[in-house]
Amino acid sequence: MSELLAPILPGATLGVLGGGQLGQMFVHAAQAMGYRTAVLDADPTSPAGLVSHAHVRSGYEDPQGLAELAQLCAAVTTEFENVPAAALRTLALQLPVSPAGDAVAIAQDRAAEKAHFVRCGVPCAPYAEITTPAQLAAVGANLLPGILKTTRMGYDGKGQARVRTAAELAAAWDAMGRVDCVLEKMLPLVHECSVIVARGRDGAIVHLPVQRNLHRDGILAVTEVHAGNVPETQAAQAVAAAESVAHGLNYVGVLCVEFFVLDDGSLVVNEIAPRPHNSGHYSQNAMDVSQFELQVRCMTGLPLVQPRQHSAAVMLNLLGDLWFQDGMPRTPAWDQVLALPGTHLHLYGKTDAKPARKMGHLNITAATPEQARGVALQAAAILGIAPY
């Protein structure tokens, strides 16, 4: 349906399923371009709901809430990969929805996701599906040591366990309640990177630069983006693989593809996120088109232009741990951080700081990678973030 539509121009209302920080930043970008916005989220204090023109307070599967959102909006997107695909399919009967429910359904299931990578000719880690005791018993020693991951609802390191032996694998599967899982062979990882692509209704595709990422305890901690952060051949391979994944899904919207870089220089794809991504937040201050503006352009059928980076950038994730010192609440020294050149603070407006909860991010921009890294390390020291 959406391919036949004319572009949806500013003045229309755009909807988003999910009221978290990604929804909030989408809302800000859409409003800056002249659109009205509507958010569907059951939480009355959701960050996106608090800044949107309209807030439909209902669950993702509530027919009345979905009908209200459809009535308000000219097009709808999502900020959360675990929104039920069925809700997206329901909305798509009435208005353009991007990404499509079928694409999101694949991203929600690790087994389906890996099968898609294979179809696209994109290398991923050797793996085995474990859904029955027989499949568990059939796991070969060549897949150990490995990482056992639930096929659904796993993110930021949740739903995962490292296993070295068949006995540890069996115990981990029991501990997970014997839900459907995928076992991935542990590979000699050097670092991680990601690529964010944006694909339009007409199949046009653009991408952000390759992002080099550091994770701690399964949560993204630092992203560095500048010329040479990843060798040119690796960067070209990552972009080509990400585009292949998006085209294979007939994807419309912003898609993040995460990769492992191995010690021999090769790349394997880790997973996809059918939405803007934490590793793309630097684009708000270092690019002439951010990932959130790309999201707006994709869902409205506006032209996609290749984003250009004008500054070297570092992004520091700000977790709720920073709001505590020696177990006592505190307010981080934002004044000291913002006294540093090229710092851009983005806080999400969440009322309760909790350990490991994403509360905001700090973008650092500079003329050179060395300057950006130097300021980022100063900011990290002020805030109590471990150096990198």
User: Which tens digit of pLDDT belongs to each residue from 14-68?
Assistant: 999 999 999 999 999 999 999 999 999 999 999 999 999 999 999 999 999 999 9
Hey, where are the domains in the chain? 2-97, 126-185, 189-383
Rounded to an integer, the average pLDDT of 376-384 is 98
The reply to whether 95 sits in an annotated binding site is no
Which pLDDT score is estimated for 323? 97
8 Å CB contact between 343 and 379: yes
The reply to whether 158 sits in an annotated binding site is yes
The reply to whether 184 sits in an annotated binding site is yes
Rounded to an integer, the average pLDDT of 83-109 is 96
Q: What pTM was estimated for this model as a whole?
A: 0.94
pLDDT for residue 1 is more than 60: no
**What's the CATH number of domain 126-185, 3.30.1490.20, 3.40.30.10, 3.40.50.2000, 3.40.50.300?**
3.30.1490.20
Task: Give the Å distances, CA to CA, from 50 to 19, 25, 245, 326.
Answer: 9, 12, 34, 32
Fold of 189-383: D-amino Acid Aminotransferase; Chain A, domain 1 (3.30.470)
Pick from 233, 232, 215: which is nearest to 224 by CA? 215
The reply to whether 185 sits in an annotated binding site is yes
Tokens of 303: 């032209």
- Tell me how many degrees the CA angle 200-202-203 measures, rounded to the nearest 5: 70
Rounded to an integer, the average pLDDT of 136-159 is 85
Confidence class of residue 155 from pLDDT cuts 50, 70 and 90?
A: low
Rounded to an integer, the average pLDDT of 338-345 is 98
The reply to whether 155 sits in an annotated binding site is yes
The reply to whether 271 sits in an annotated binding site is yes
Which pLDDT score is estimated for 327? 87
Tokens of 114: 């890996």
| Alpha-carbon gap, residue 276 to 145, rounded angstroms | 32
The reply to whether 149 sits in an annotated binding site is yes
pLDDT for residue 4 is more than 60: no
The reply to whether 192 sits in an annotated binding site is yes
CATH for 2-97? 3.40.50.20
Q: Which residues contact 301 (CB under 8 A, 6 or more apart)?
A: 2, 5, 6, 7, 8, 96, 200, 201
pLDDT > 90 fraction of the chain, expressed in percent and rounded: 94
The reply to whether 157 sits in an annotated binding site is yes
